[in-house]
Amino acid sequence: MNSAELKNQSSVFKGSDLIYLYLNKDVSTYFYFSFSFQRKNNTNITEYNIYYALNNYNDDIEYLNNSNYYKATNPRIKNNTYTFYYKLHKYAQFKRYALIRPGKETLKYDKINITRLPKLPYEFKKSWNITTEIHDYIYTNISDIPIGNDIYFIVIPIGNITIKYKFSEGNFYDDFTDMNLITPKYNYSSYNAEYYYFKKESDSNFLLFEILKTDWYNITIYQTEKDEYLEIGKKKKNLIISICVGVALLIIMIASLIYYKVKQVAKKKNETINNQPLMNKK
């Protein structure tokens, strides 16, 4: 069994290689990888299990004794190329090496591209979502939203964030390229809320988000059915109108009361004068 080190983010290996990743001071809780290789002879691989282990030594025997099968979390075939994605748990924090071997289906392959990924995309919960990572890849299914409709999101961040987006046919990690930077259309300082608007201009299945943060802050994201900022504006307008109408009615009431009081005083004064006895003329 040949050993080869994964030094860069992405490298090409043989199907019979034992790949090792020197962890050094790596503090990751999970490792994320993709395995890509050409589809040969119209094969149809529905599952592709790799071997994975953590050890203190880059040793074939230790690897064989401790490795386990790991299934791909999300397979894909595109341009006659298979790509399988993996989320591998770093179950032993003090091991020096992560050891990986391609699956048995590709033992005779000479070119398997293995890439270490920063994260795998995950689906957005439409009512709300909380992200706690510095770098996140999120997608939401918009296939049932008609072309031309607006899609509304409210983001409540703590600290500085950068959001990129893209309308896409797929929701794989490889689809998160050529993303577009977006800034909020409105800000509502009372709740530290940012309002984002997206118009579906093509027949896309997914709306992708890449979110970058300056620190490990929580971010709350809501997808709403309507323009909530416009609703806030309507509520404010209605409140202002209600206050103005109330103040006007109060002024009218006070003015009417004052007028009534003045009229009563004048009436009593006239009655007093009229009821005084007439003095005899000398």
Per-residue model confidence as pLDDT tens digits over 121-142? 998 877 677 777 788 899 999 9
More confident position, 154 or 189: 154
Domain end call among 85, 117, 149 = 117
Residues 254, 274: Cα–Cα separation, whole Å? 30
159 phi/psi in degrees, rounded to 5: 90, -175
Domain end call among 117, 143, 161 = 117
- Sheet containing strand 219-224, edge to edge, reads 129-131, 219-224, 150-156, 193-199, 186-188
Q: Are 99 and 55 in contact (CB under 8 A)?
A: yes
Residues 144, 172, single domain; the answer is yes
Quote the number of domains for the chain. 2
pLDDT > 70? residue 273: no
Instruction: Check which CATH number belongs to the domain holding 218 and give it.
Output: 2.60.120.380
Angle made by CA atoms 73, 75, 76, in degrees to the nearest 5: 150
Residues 52, 87: Cα–Cα separation, whole Å? 11
In this structure, is residue 282 part of a structural domain? no
pLDDT the model gives residue 71? 85
In this structure, is residue 177 part of a structural domain? yes
DSSP 239: H
In this structure, is residue 264 part of a structural domain? no
Residues 73, 22, single domain; the answer is yes
3-state class (DSSP) for residue 97: strand
57-78: per-residue pLDDT in tens? Answer: 777 766 666 678 888 877 888 8
pLDDT the model gives residue 82? 92
In this structure, is residue 268 part of a structural domain? no
Q: Which domain holds residue 143?
A: 122-229
Quickly state the pLDDT bin for 3 (edges 50, 70, 90): confident
pLDDT the model gives residue 4? 84
Tokens of 226: 């309507």
Residues 216, 177, single domain; the answer is yes
216-226: per-residue pLDDT in tens? Answer: 777 888 888 78
Residues 169, 104, single domain; the answer is no
Neighbours of 119 (CB within 10 A): 17
Choose the weakest-confidence range: 24-38, 178-192, 263-277.
263-277
Please list the residues that pair with 145 across neighbouring strands. Answer: none
Q: pTM for the full model?
A: 0.72
Q: Are 223 and 153 in contact (CB under 8 A)?
A: yes
Q: What are the angstrom distances between the C-alpha of 263 and each of 40, 98, 254, 268, 276?
A: 103, 96, 14, 9, 20
pLDDT the model gives residue 83? 94
More confident position, 263 or 206: 206
Q: Are 194 and 187 in contact (CB under 8 A)?
A: yes
